[in-house]
Structure 1
Amino acid sequence: MTSQDLLLRILNKLFLGLAAAGIFFGVMGRSRAAERPNIVLILADDLGYGDVSCYGATKVQTPNIDKVAESGLRFLDAHSSSATCTPSRYALLTGEYPWRKKGTGILPGDANLIIKPGSTTLPEMLRKGGYKTGAVGKWHLGLGDGEIDWNTEIKPGPLEIGFDYSFIMPATADRVPCVFVENHRVVDLDAKDPIQVSFKEKVGSDPTGQEHPELLKMRPSHGHDMTIVNGISRIGYMSGGKSARWVDEELAQTLTKQAVGFIEKNKDGPFFLYFATHDIHVPRVPNARFAGKSGMGPRGDVILQFDWTVGEIVKTLRQLKLEDNTILIVTSDNGPVVDDGYQDQAREKLNGHRPAGPLRGGKYSAFEGGTRVPFILSWPGHVKSGVSDALICQIDFLASFAQLTGCRLNQADGPDSLNILPAFVGDSKMGRDYVVEHAFVLALRKGNQKFIEPGKGPKFSKPTATETGIDPDGLFYDLTDDIGETNNLSIQVSEKAKQYQAELEKLRKEGRSRP
């Protein structure tokens, strides 16, 4: 052996040792970034902590998600940034807490884009780093600037905030317009049948659920009684665009086909796919292949449908031999909700199923069930399979993926996004020191201790009866032996509660939390 060979062998051993020790990520300037793995983020809608069998569900089985968990890392304390959809998506893409910015609440279907074009976002950062970026599925972050004309170019939108390609639902399936927008235009629109949309007054002559309930195949339980599309009344009024309107039973198949197509087109990579599915959101209208299969009604059926979607993405990655060079993440935008506007027997057919598992609350709630969500990350050959109880948050994708890919962030970028890459890939058992949970009020988690700030409003949101976590005196829990948040300690730890409140106020005033 020559002296040069010996030196190379010593350097190689030193390099591997640093990687195994976790130093590789910081000291070596993130050398693994040269690989630039593909990133596929599958974001479910309203999928609860207890809705997945690898998280303990027994009444419904999710074998495809379970297989991802078997090959990857399953997180037990992962959080979305908000207990509702628009704000959690805003934070995921921007790295900024949504409560810092006005207008990030749940948006109507004709809202304008709430992310400023030109700002640093997760897709924009990755695009500058050489990635092809795609957005498929539910958007709900607004489109355009001013009154939207759905019959011409619709922008700004996903393409103006970092995506190279987009095929989206403008808002949600329970809101008009019930059409797909590909890049800047409505798909399959007939110019002779222009679209009109209003959330203030009726437009056109299409029947509404309020006027003609006999035309409905799914009746609303509250609201959701305006224009009827595909036998389902929605929020808002719409006329025209008959050839462009989606069929609810085919939503999952259509979106999955587009996601698969993006992967196939960009298989030579690197690429980033933000695949925001519609399931498990209302209206829950499963395809015939899943209808009635769960034994839990439409809500259970669309959980099976979402699991199928995950399976199709995994199958595509495997067939294209991309599995080993792709980070696949399966998670949810917020916690679960059962009755959310339609009479689909979701509550009656739970049959003992607990959508939030052992957690209290759900969508809209400051309790753990509002933001603690399923989160699985798989990267075969790079991330060891197992379970992690590290405290992590989706808001940290921006800073963590910047470290992973060698991209740079300016000081003003992602003001609340932290680099917790070692936790994401399982090299560290430590994630965040704290996380801010956002619903009608804010909550501060530090380790296993949690403070929900005082608030005004109903303790239960009506008519869904989801616990909001609102209390005029505030709430304090120790989750170590009380994950279900049943024992309020606010009186016993009043001084600590005041300290946590002060920390929340400081976070509000400082305008950022990233060092």
Structure 2
Amino acid sequence: MIRKKIACLCIHIITGLLIALTGSGQSASAQQAPAPINKPNVIFICADDLGYGDLSCYGATKIKTPNLDKLAAQGIRFTNGHCTSATCTPSRYAFMTGQYPWRKAGTAILPGDAALIIPVTGTTLPKIFQKAGYKTGIVGKWYLGLGNEVAKDWNGEIKPGPNETGFDYSFIFPATADRVPTVFIENHTITALDPADPIAVDYKTKIGNEPTGKENPELLKLQSTPNHGHNNTIVNGIGRIGFMTGGKIARWTDEEMPLTFLQKAKNFIEENKRNSFFLYYALTEPHVPRMPSTIFKGKSGLGLRGDAILQLDWAVGEIMKQVKIAGIEKNTLIIFSSDNGPVLDDGYLDGAVTQLNGHTPWGPLRGGKYSAFEAGTRVPFIVSWPGKVQPHTSGALICQIDFIASFAKMLGQNIPAGEAYDSENMLDALLGKTNTGRTTLVQQGGALSIVKGDWKYITPNDGPANTGPKLTNIETGNLPTPQLYNLKEDIGEKNNLAQKYPDKVKELSALLETIKNKTP
């Protein structure tokens, strides 16, 4: 009896010591590991101007992308994955809101000082995750406007912006790397800004006395091509679109900027590994100006554009490593895609054209950025979730606009009537449970087009058939007469079947009008 009491007393003493040492009934090692999570973390990595044929897992032979190849090999490689639009602002608007961007005026390519175009009320992609208890973050390119007006004070709090649209944390630059202001904004304020050197921005009139690419081409380390507008204020030896003064200390260099974004993304993962989190990691590569970090320069043999793709692939590998180090690999869903198709000469003489060396950024497709042809919106699209998603290739028609409805389904969240109404629940296709995706998709390029099954109809458009050699030299898909293609037999859209199948043209034209007239 006495021995039993002594044994019980010892157990109580040991238990008390453990509680005192660890702060709970858990072991110290259990406390250090991330807590079990029922809902997966989601990381959406979005490249910028990356083409369907730019990755070796999508058939590229002149460049190797081992980290993205690995991501595709352990997940689903979609061969019919799309953004909605052949340019970046509208495609980003679409996956943020679940609404086709051509429904709303002001969603075309924005100047660097544009006002916010994402509604601060209503449903957005990050708000779906917030409502499900997730921590949400964006790191990288934003390009959806800031503030309520074009005229804004860059030296105080800059809002509304990403935080007001559903992100708990944001670390961005305002527009694109070829536009001023070339600064980082963390949540609402510019980082490292000296109050004694305030920033001013103007997109119409030159301000200050800083050298410009037009007036001082001898100061450029990366020459710009004519007609693109990259000849205004010089920052880091590169002419930009728009004029800027002040903020000397706050300005980033192009070689440093992507590495800073990568570190901020890794920090977000580490800080939130014990929570459920959604991270939108918006890469800047291979958008112009292409000035990758020195360790990647000259490594691809395809000019600075190819070097930027190597840097992009490395960054994806670093994110994969960070997820593994955090111990959350099996509970993290990673999506990789691009905001639109490829472009070579987009304003700078960087070797993208002269050092192409047989590489085909568009793969077997026709067109590219700015185009209604498939290369404008059909982009790399990879989904990986180890242990949950079985590795395979899928031909399901899917689109980034469907993220809202799909994740709302996964997380048990309701979408209010009249919101995100172009977004469809494609969760089973995204998780590889079916190879059946959308039945129809409206694409926005030089003209609107619609895909239904194997058929694609491009609406008549009087615009130029090519952007021209003085600009990007890309086929726009514009033609004053209807175009009809069978994508199963003719993925390169070479054989216009509109005259052969007039009934199919009539059917798809009517369907497109029905979708255009759809109201909440």
TM-score after normalising by structure 1: 0.92
User: What is the identity, as a one-letter code, of the residue corresponding to 1:378?
Assistant: S
Of 367-376 and 217-226, the range deviating more from structure 2:
217-226
Q: 1:72 aligns with which of 72, 75, 83?
A: 75
Conservation of the 8 A alpha-carbon contact between 2:81 and 2:399? yes
Matches within 5 A, 1:45-444: 45-146=48-149, 147-222=151-226, 223-444=229-450
Alignment-derived partner of residue 484 in structure 2 = 476
- Structure-2 separation of matches of 1:301 and 1:511: 45
Conservation of the 8 A alpha-carbon contact between 1:100 and 1:511? no
Alignment-derived partner of residue 493 in structure 1 = 501
Alignment: residue pair count: 479
In the alignment, structure 1 residue 36 sits paired with structure 2 residue 39: yes
- Structure-2 separation of matches of 1:173 and 1:429: 37
Conservation of the 8 A alpha-carbon contact between 2:465 and 2:477? yes
Deviation readout 1:62-100 (Å, 9 max, x if unpaired) = 000001011111000000010000000000111000000
Alignment-derived partner of residue 20 in structure 2 = none
User: What is the identity, as a one-letter code, of the residue corresponding to 1:484?
Assistant: G
Q: Secondary structure at the match of 1:43?
A: strand
How far off is 1:292 after superposition?
0.2
Q: Secondary structure at the match of 2:201?
A: strand
How far off is 1:118 after superposition?
1.5
- Structure-2 separation of matches of 1:233 and 1:262: 32
Q: Secondary structure at the match of 1:242?
A: coil
Conservation of the 8 A alpha-carbon contact between 2:74 and 2:391? yes
User: What is the identity, as a one-letter code, of the residue corresponding to 2:231?
Assistant: D
How far off is 1:380 after superposition?
0.6
Conservation of the 8 A alpha-carbon contact between 1:169 and 1:181? yes
- Structure-1 separation of matches of 2:388 and 2:439: 25
- Structure-2 separation of matches of 1:370 and 1:511: 26
Q: Secondary structure at the match of 2:413?
A: coil
Alignment-derived partner of residue 9 in structure 1 = none
How far off is 1:495 after superposition?
2.4
Alignment-derived partner of residue 32 in structure 2 = none
Q: Secondary structure at the match of 1:69?
A: helix
Conservation of the 8 A alpha-carbon contact between 1:135 and 1:275? yes
Conservation of the 8 A alpha-carbon contact between 2:330 and 2:387? yes
Q: Secondary structure at the match of 1:203?
A: coil
Alignment-derived partner of residue 21 in structure 1 = none
Deviation readout 1:238-295 (Å, 9 max, x if unpaired) = 0000010010011211100010011111111200000001001000001011000000
Structure 1 alignment gaps of length 5 or more: 1-33
Deviation readout 1:431-464 (Å, 9 max, x if unpaired) = 0001111112111011111000001110001321
How far off is 1:356 after superposition?
0.7
Conservation of the 8 A alpha-carbon contact between 1:256 and 1:309? yes
TM-score after normalising by structure 2: 0.91
- Structure-2 separation of matches of 1:56 and 1:452: 27
User: What is the identity, as a one-letter code, of the residue corresponding to 1:137?
Assistant: G
> Which structure is larger by alpha-carbon Rg, 1 or 2?
2
Q: Secondary structure at the match of 1:466?
A: coil
How far off is 1:511 after superposition?
2.9
Conservation of the 8 A alpha-carbon contact between 2:219 and 2:237? yes
User: What is the identity, as a one-letter code, of the residue corresponding to 2:403?
Assistant: F
Q: Secondary structure at the match of 2:294?
A: coil
How far off is 1:415 after superposition?
1.1
- Structure-1 separation of matches of 2:109 and 2:142: 12
Deviation readout 1:464-486 (Å, 9 max, x if unpaired) = 11110000002110111111000
Conservation of the 8 A alpha-carbon contact between 2:197 and 2:247? yes
- Structure-1 separation of matches of 2:232 and 2:339: 26
User: What is the identity, as a one-letter code, of the residue corresponding to 1:135?
Assistant: I
Deviation readout 1:130-185 (Å, 9 max, x if unpaired) = 00000100000000012211000000000001000000010000000000100000
- Structure-2 separation of matches of 1:279 and 1:510: 36
Q: Secondary structure at the match of 1:460?
A: coil
User: What is the identity, as a one-letter code, of the residue corresponding to 2:511?
Assistant: E
- Structure-1 separation of matches of 2:209 and 2:79: 50
Q: 1:454 aligns with which of 453, 457, 460?
A: 460
User: What is the identity, as a one-letter code, of the residue corresponding to 1:288?
Assistant: T
User: What is the identity, as a one-letter code, of the residue corresponding to 2:82?
Assistant: H
How far off is 1:508 after superposition?
1.1
Conservation of the 8 A alpha-carbon contact between 2:128 and 2:407? no
How far off is 1:316 after superposition?
0.2
Q: Secondary structure at the match of 1:435?
A: strand
User: What is the identity, as a one-letter code, of the residue corresponding to 2:482?
Assistant: G
How far off is 1:504 after superposition?
1.2
- Structure-1 separation of matches of 2:81 and 2:145: 26
User: What is the identity, as a one-letter code, of the residue corresponding to 2:270?
Assistant: E
- Structure-1 separation of matches of 2:455 and 2:281: 33
Alignment-derived partner of residue 25 in structure 1 = none
Alignment-derived partner of residue 33 in structure 2 = none
User: What is the identity, as a one-letter code, of the residue corresponding to 1:96?
Assistant: Q
Of 450-459 and 500-509, the range deviating more from structure 2:
500-509
Structure 2 alignment gaps of length 5 or more: 1-36
Alignment-derived partner of residue 16 in structure 2 = none
Q: Secondary structure at the match of 1:248?
A: coil
- Structure-2 separation of matches of 1:447 and 1:269: 40
Conservation of the 8 A alpha-carbon contact between 2:426 and 2:437? yes
